[in-house]
């Protein structure tokens, strides 16, 4: 057999299977309670609505759904998204456009390819989304972390990091943030902090990539608490990423980039080589889903479903965890972030926990650089309240056995 691996590009040679993937393989055993993968609730998908949509398509509509589409997305869906972004998210579309992407992971890949020359820096929250970090590295960028408190990125640290990059002659191409219920920490950036972040962005002329997959899934407060940074942006300096994965289905692979028209146009050119077009079948489902009001109904329903799961998780943590362990109290999204005593490493905890048939994701997956790994993520979204309770009880027991 010929060995083709020696023909790989230099960048490919550097790509390694992540430790997390190896760990998660350990966790794929029957009967495991997985607080790991950040998946929406499998028992609540709007399948009846989707069937209703498809069964009502005319032959003409079905032909569009089954044919190639344009690279930027299906026109009527783009129009509907623009209208929704203006009405629900208070974002002005003036001078702006939307491209529909094959999930928001593709949006991250496109933006990374769009902006990054080898060694260019992207600033991310500590901790931040593993898929964004992977994408930045894959497209030759470098990731530098900015610490957060419970109101979001620390602005003094942010400016200090930028200044340090400037001093070192490094280009900071964008600031990546998940202001609503950060994955993995669950932390929400306060409205005040959002303004300050935007000020920094404008002052240094560094765009913000605002990833907002969970913004509709808040369980406390009102819409106003979660208004996107993009709604404050008068300079065209924020690229906003949306997705249908948590408000319809991740299996559809539908996301979008909302940004200045010239940036969106260039993303469209790059997307031609990536996959020609986003699944038209999914796009036509999503359009009807919006038009028939199914999406708003689903969001309302899922807020209740996830609020109960969130409360079950926080209740179980309160009841079972030893006082040496602390955690965030998210007001939305899918995740709680635990901090263990300094001397514990979450990989060690994971190995013991999996023996007891409970899995989670170790914190190092979400840390942009070497960082003490006494942190871990629990996803409460795809488990029953009983399983959440039981899983956390077992994890607490494992931790208690490891305390000094």
Cα separation of 402 and 404, whole Å? 6
Residue 138 sits in the site that holds its own copies (CB under 8 A): yes
| Minimal distance, residue 235 CB to its own copies, in Å | 5
Nearest to its own copies of 130, 358 (CB atom): 130
Q: Is 1 in the site for its own copies (CB under 8 A)?
A: yes
What binding mask, one character per residue, do residues 56-85 give for its own copies by CB under 8 A, x or -? Answer: -x-x--xxxxxxxx----------------
Q: Is 135 in the site for its own copies (CB under 8 A)?
A: yes
CB of residue 174 to its own copies, shortest distance in Å? 8
Q: With CA atoms as reference, report the closest residue to 363 among 376, 348, 382.
A: 376
Q: Which residues contact 75 (CB under 8 A, 6 or more apart)?
A: none
Cβ(242)–Cβ(230) below 8 Å: no
Q: Which of 78, 97, 99, 102 binds its own copies (CB under 8 A)?
A: 102
Residue among 93, 155, 232, 270 that touches its own copies (CB under 8 A): 270
Q: Is 345 helix (H, G, I), strand (E, B) or coil?
A: coil
- Name the burial class of residue 238, with classes exposed (0-12), middle (13-18) and buried (19+) by CB atoms within 10 angstroms of its CB: buried
Residue of the chain from 191, 202, 231, 384 that contacts its own copies (CB under 8 A): 202
**26: contact with its own copies by CB under 8 A:** no
Q: Kindly state the smallest distance separating residue 155's Cβ from its own copies, in Å.
A: 20
Can you say whether the dihedral through the CA atoms of 262, 214, 50, 36 is positive or negative? Answer: positive
Residue closer to its own copies (CB basis): 104 or 331: 104
Site for its own copies, residues 236 to 255, rule: CB under 8 A = 236-237, 245, 249-253
CA atoms within 13 A on the CB side of 89: 25
How far apart are alpha carbons 198 and 235 in whole angstroms? 10
Interface residue with its own copies among 26, 29, 79, 95 (CB under 8 A) is: 95
Q: Name which of 254, 240, 326 is nearest 290 in CA terms.
A: 254
Distance CA 347, CA 241 (A): 31
Query: Is 34 one of the binding residues for its own copies (CB under 8 A)?
Result: no
Contact region with its own copies (CB under 8 A), list: 12-20, 179-187, 315-323, 325-333: 12-20
Cβ closer to its own copies: 258 or 321?
258
- Residues 359, 34: contact at Cβ < 8 Å? yes
Interaction between residue 45 and its own copies (CB under 8 A) = yes
Q: Which stretch binds its own copies (CB under 8 A): 127-135, 152-160, 182-190, 358-366?
A: 127-135
């Amino acid at each position: 057999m010929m060995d083709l691996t020696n023909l790989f590009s230099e960048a490919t040679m550097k790509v390694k299977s992540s430790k997390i993937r190896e760990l998660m393989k350990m966790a794929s055993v029957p009967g495991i309670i997985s607080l790991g993968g950040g998946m929406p609730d499998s028992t609540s998908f709007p399948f009846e609505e989707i069937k209703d949509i498809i069964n009502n398509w005319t032959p003409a509509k079905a032909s569009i759904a089954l044919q190639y589409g344009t690279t930027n997305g299906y026109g009527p869906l783009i129009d509907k998204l623009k209208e929704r972004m203006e009405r629900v998210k208070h974002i002005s579309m003036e001078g702006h456009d939307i491209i529909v992407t094959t999930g928001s992971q593709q949006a991250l890949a496109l933006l990374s390819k769009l902006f990054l020359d080898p060694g260019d820096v992207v600033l991310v929250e500590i901790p931040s989304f593993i898929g964004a970090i992977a994408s930045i590295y894959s497209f030759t960028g470098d990731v530098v972390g900015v610490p957060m408190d419970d109101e979001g990125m620390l602005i003094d640290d942010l400016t200090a990091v930028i200044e340090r990059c400037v001093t070192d002659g490094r280009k900071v191409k964008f600031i990546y943030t998940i202001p609503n219920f950060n994955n993995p920490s669950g932390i929400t950036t306060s409205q005040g902090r959002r303004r300050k972040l935007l000020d920094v962005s404008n002052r240094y002329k560094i765009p913000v990539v605002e990833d907002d997959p969970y913004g509709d899934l808040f369980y406390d407060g009102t819409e106003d608490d979660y208004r996107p940074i993009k709604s404050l942006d008068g300079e065209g300096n924020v690229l906003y990423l949306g997705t249908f994965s948590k408000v319809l289905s991740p299996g559809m692979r539908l996301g979008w980039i909302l940004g200045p028209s010239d940036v969106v146009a260039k993303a469209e050119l790059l997307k031609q080589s990536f996959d020609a077009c986003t699944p038209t079948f999914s796009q036509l489902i999503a359009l009807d889903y919006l038009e028939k009001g199914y999406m708003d109904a689903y969001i309302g329903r899922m807020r209740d479903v996830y609020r109960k799961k969130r409360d079950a998780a926080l209740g179980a943590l309160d009841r079972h965890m030893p006082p040496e362990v602390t955690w965030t109290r998210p007001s939305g999204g899918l995740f709680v972030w635990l901090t263990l005593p300094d001397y514990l490493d979450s990989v060690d905890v994971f190995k013991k926990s999996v023996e007891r048939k409970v899995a989670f994701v170790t914190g190092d997956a979400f840390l942009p650089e070497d960082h003490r790994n006494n942190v871990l993520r629990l996803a409460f979204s795809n488990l029953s309240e009983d399983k959440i309770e039981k899983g956390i009880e077992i994890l607490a027991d494992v931790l208690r056995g490891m305390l000094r």
